[in-house]
Structure 1
């Protein structure tokens, strides 16, 4: 590539990226999901705007899959397993049986009403039925939703991408003519289980190495952590398992472990996830052809209406009722099944294999995502309040960053006292840290001091704790317990927790 062309490409890329970052603020103030702004930016750069001609569906599919892998890894990393574990069975059923019901209902009605062949109807039903992890994570994590209810929708969105991708791949391939229903279900089950196992095993092995390594720079820990997650993705893909399921499970495993420099790793993963979303949506906007979209609008409204008002609610009722989920929570789960990048990326698969109806499928899905995101995204907070899914703001989680000191077998832990934390007002001696651990440094109002046992912590304090390496997990548990429950935390959290009396508490 000529240096001048490279400079021009970097100039355009940096400008688009900065515009996309600024669009996050704009979309937040306007109450619109940011993905719509990114799609609009792609359309503006495309053939109907600045005239950039881009029609490479194969490249879009490859880059889209890589971007989804980053988004799922970050989603898993930032998911609290303690919250997800009680709802994992329900989320798993929604992601498998629920998706199957949704695909069947949508495909049948599309086949009858739109008068398309069965193969095209199944592709449309499957592509549209998968909820989008990026959209769900971005929207729900900015809303005060009951933790278990939010965890159900998030876990479903993380789990349901792999089975739909497998289904679409089989239906669009030459194996479609020889495939049977039980055969496809067996293949989906095999790839999912293998992806879960390999993602977990690779993450645990990588974690074992990482926590015993003293890397020369703290910035290497986030890179190494993400590399472990992608190793799980690659190993599962080579072994014939679901690579996306593997990287989500790997991210979940790593995110719920005692990682060195955890806060830095979380920030790094969040930044990469945002970059992936921006690049993915802009790319999909480039691939779309506005001249064809108006023709597909009636079909998109029909498919989206069937999916949102019939197929999705029916699948949630059938899956959630046996778990005793109240109807109000079922209604929220149904409405919170947001669509985003995943359906549009899946719609590029028929284009990459050259199916006759591929362009129509892509146009319908593209418009479906845009229209129903405009309807569902902005109304979700109102729906949450009406259905009792919203809750008051809770105290912020206590972010604790750790750094291993390999030569002396110790760990340094650093945290800041956030607003709402019950650490504020607690004396250092009342932390009751494990023997041998000590609060060694305190930064307050820009001044560094050595705290005494009677020093009272305040909101905004930056605190440094030194602990033996083997006491690291116990120190973190104790600090978080005091942050949640105050100086009497031992009487609240040292006993086994009772099961919540109501789903979603």
Structure 2
């Protein structure tokens, strides 16, 4: 095809995918189903008859897309939100993952008749929850913060140990040395986490001190640092997936200039990576081979959903303050998506026995159980009697550095549910060196008086010296959460 035809086809696919986002959002489904459907539609069995069977290229592009999706997940995840759940998430994504692999692997051997190697490869491939699916569905549900934080952090952490297991099982025909495997896994996870944190922290320090000539360069720098951490960790034989998520988490929660713009850019890149990834996986699948693996997929899928996932959640959350309702919901909310399908290409590249069959089983499981779990999550939350404990949502604050003045310009948008509504300017009690210089209200701007009351929907321009910028942001957040008497309630805005 000519370039113009490819560009037209690509643009049309992206626009169709964007429309599919709206439709899947209303249905409560992860968008991956629509994207993979587009891939199947234009694939070998569709009207365009596009042939795509390069497994090695699919593996490479798939892993690259997962890196971008994890980077987007880290940048857009609130550390304040997930911090209390990180210890539980680490246990679930390691010990819980191993429990799930053992249960599903044994079931695949006994019930499906697979040999031990493809059986445990199948179990490992299916073990991780999918970050894109979790972020796109669960962030719309009113869940307790410790539960939603657990599920978000788990989806960011659990790719790393699973990749190690899948690569090891795919590369070795014999039984791997379990002690050696656990040692390698421990090293790769610890080293990957350290590398990701170091790159994220150093990058944040540098971006705070360097005035870039254009605001659009900050998002590019953040994403480049996150992706670069994957490469650095991989070169040092450690977990690149954990490194990219940790570095993106650090950078996304650092007080950098143009944070909303950075998050918006990361979300756009993440969406584009999802669209390309799922369409490619739909192209890679052979519709004629999928029906033959429906029954094995249903057997393995129900074992995973009804036995392996609940057991892994219950066992790995012992000692953590989760109610039985939260544990049951976490069991049902273990959404699978692109990650298992991408991981299923690794055995195909290594020419593992029954690799094509494993890919078909995994593809069927992802489609069928996404259709089953996605739309029923709101019902599951109600049955488990879960509700959000989140308070007023965070202010959207963007900092634009004014280097020559050694000052910052903060752009503060007051949300509808903020307790800043009705507070007068003097009641903000901003630190010395900070001042509200302009208010934009209903399309008009004006300079406020000390007694000017703020309103929901206002946009404030606050000029502050660099030394008190963080204190100013904390004070604004505190008043937004607790009102003019925030200090009396012990609210610090941290």
Matches within 5 A, 1:187-198: 187-198=184-195
Post-superposition Cα deviations, 1:180-227, rounded to whole Å, max 9, x if no partner, equal: 111111111111111100001011111111111111111111111111
Aligned to 1:171: 169
Out of 84, 94, 107, the position equivalent to 2:105 is 107
Aligned to 1:406: 403
Indicate conservation of the 8 Å contact 1:481/1:493, yes or no.
no
Of 378-387 and 70-79, deviating more is 70-79
Structure-1-length-normalised TM-score: 0.95
CA distance in 2 between counterparts of 1:149 and 1:268 reads: 27
Aligned to 1:334: 331
Aligned to 1:431: 428
Gaps of 5+ in 2: none
Aligned to 2:470: 473
Aligned to 1:236: 233
Matches within 5 A, 1:449-488: 449-488=446-485
SS of the equivalent of 2:344 reads helix
Q: 1:106 to 1:178 in 2, by over 3 A?
A: closer
SS of the equivalent of 2:209 reads coil
CA distance in 2 between counterparts of 1:495 and 1:271 reads: 33
Matches within 5 A, 1:87-166: 87-166=85-164
CA distance in 2 between counterparts of 1:54 and 1:118 reads: 30
Post-superposition Cα deviations, 1:251-303, rounded to whole Å, max 9, x if no partner, equal: 11111110100010010001111111111111100000000000000010011
Q: CA deviation at 1:6?
A: 1.4
Post-superposition Cα deviations, 1:468-493, rounded to whole Å, max 9, x if no partner, equal: 11211111111111111111111223
Matched, 1:209 2:223: no
Aligned length: 493
Deviation beyond 6 Å, 4+ runs, structure 1 = none
Aligned to 1:266: 263
Aligned to 2:342: 345
SS of the equivalent of 1:415 reads strand
CA distance in 2 between counterparts of 1:393 and 1:20 reads: 31
CA distance in 2 between counterparts of 1:197 and 1:80 reads: 20
Aligned to 1:54: 52
Aligned to 1:257: 254
Aligned to 1:295: 292
CA distance in 1 between counterparts of 2:339 and 2:490 reads: 40
Post-superposition Cα deviations, 1:392-439, rounded to whole Å, max 9, x if no partner, equal: 775332110001111121111001111111111111111111101000
Aligned to 1:81: 79
Aligned to 1:501: none
Structure-2-length-normalised TM-score: 0.97
Q: CA deviation at 1:145?
A: 1.1
Indicate conservation of the 8 Å contact 1:417/1:458, yes or no.
yes
Indicate conservation of the 8 Å contact 1:236/1:246, yes or no.
yes
Q: CA deviation at 1:496?
A: 11
Matched, 1:489 2:486: yes
Matched, 1:318 2:315: yes
Indicate conservation of the 8 Å contact 1:149/1:389, yes or no.
no
Out of 372, 382, 392, the position equivalent to 1:395 is 392
Indicate conservation of the 8 Å contact 2:28/2:137, yes or no.
no
SS of the equivalent of 2:319 reads helix
Post-superposition Cα deviations, 1:364-408, rounded to whole Å, max 9, x if no partner, equal: 000000000011100001101111222377533211000111112
SS of the equivalent of 1:163 reads helix
Gaps of 5+ in 1: 498-505
Of 473-482 and 365-374, deviating more is 473-482
Q: 1:493 to 1:5 in 2, by over 3 A?
A: farther
Indicate conservation of the 8 Å contact 2:83/2:149, yes or no.
no
RMSD: 1.5
